[in-house]
Amino acid sequence: AVAGRLRALTALAPLHQPAALDALDAVRAALPGVDQIACFDTAFHSRLPAAAVTYALPARWRERYGIRRYGFHGLSHAHASRRAARLTGARRIVTCHLGSGASLAAVLDGVGVDTTMGFTPLEGLVMGTRSGSVDPGALLWLQTEAGVSAAELTDGLFRSAGLLGLAGTADLRAVEAGAAGGDPACVLALDVYLHRLRAQIAAMTAALGGLDALVFTGGVGEGSATVRAGAAAGLGYLGVAVDPARNTGPADGTVDREIGVPGAVVRTLVVTAREDLEIARGVRSVLAGGAG
């Protein structure tokens, strides 16, 4: 029954839901007597305040169809924020999960208070092949005036937009290399990516009423010194300052590390994404009789 309900939601996350359901089916076939526990990327965001989850849409749509902001990447945000709090004692944390998919979370004392993804994983930041936030009026115009079908819109927004749409590649490493070489499309793509990232970090900070720690995680967040420096370069007014040597140099004996200028108002860290640890934590809680 649970699997059936999840399958019905595939349209909301077409890049991820089918693969997760295939894994569920494979495990059930191989180990039919073993309990299966689903750990949801939306769960961490379940305590977001009403102001953060509510769209200004007609009440009949919100109530009948459940249209609201759900958020994603919660497993990664939960681990990164918990790890940052342990390392620094920070209370007000913005976690930046940057990879092929990308989102931010504002976390206060371990509880999420805002995030950038919404009803689907399309909202928010520019991603590898996903658009991030787009004026819905532009999408309506594409349908009503340009004759673009719903199927074309879905494919374009999820699979052909983002960095791929801007630079012809979804690989940020290739975009950075192209930008360094002066390729105009890559320069624009990187500028758009960083512009949206800085703006949304500032928005998350506003939701927290200030910022104690900024955390980068995910493949891009961990691997791109250019993105980390570019994001921080526009956030000095918040107290963010990245040390160039610490940002580009190797971790000093640890996987998770600080890259901020010593004494900066905001602590800036790189934390390895470990959704697996968060999943294990949730599974242990469920097996022990907790809520997950």
Task: Tell me the CA distances in angstroms from 283 to 32, 46, 77, one per residue in order.
Answer: 18, 18, 17
Catalytic residue among 41, 114, 212, 256: 41
Q: Residue 243 catalytic?
A: no
* SS3 category, 80: helix
| Spatial separation of the C-alpha atoms in residues 98 and 207, rounded to whole Å | 20
Q: From the CB of residue 213, how many other CB atoms can be counted at a distance below 10 Å?
A: 26
The torsion angles phi and psi of 45, rounded to 5 degrees, stand at -90, 5
| Spatial separation of the C-alpha atoms in residues 202 and 160, rounded to whole Å | 28
For residues 219-229, one letter each, b for 16 or more C-beta atoms within 10 angstroms of the residue's C-beta and e for the rest, the string is bbbbbbbbbbb
Cβ-contact 204, 94 below 8 angstroms: yes
213-217/267-270 β-pairing: parallel
Q: Which residues are catalytic?
A: 41
